[in-house]
Amino acid sequence: MKTSTEPYVTGQALPNDRPVTRRKFEANIIVVMVLLVLATVLYVAEIRRILTMSTEFKSQSPPPTSELVAH
């Protein structure tokens, strides 16, 4: 049985010792950046939709009663 002071054999890693390769790290960064861009685009699109709805609402004359009943 090995003690923690002995160097471990090449090819074996301790259970906690998970080396993160550079390629995996870069892939994670790319995924995070893509998700951030997607979230930003959706957020901006939602804000623009809300703003256009509110400006259309202000500029519009009130709808006829039949249109109100239909909704």
CA distance 44 to 36: 12
Give mean pLDDT, residues 10-26.
68
Reported as a single tens digit per residue, the pLDDT across 31-69 is 999 999 999 999 999 999 988 887 776 666 665 666 555
Handedness of CA 13, 16, 17, 19 (dihedral sign): positive
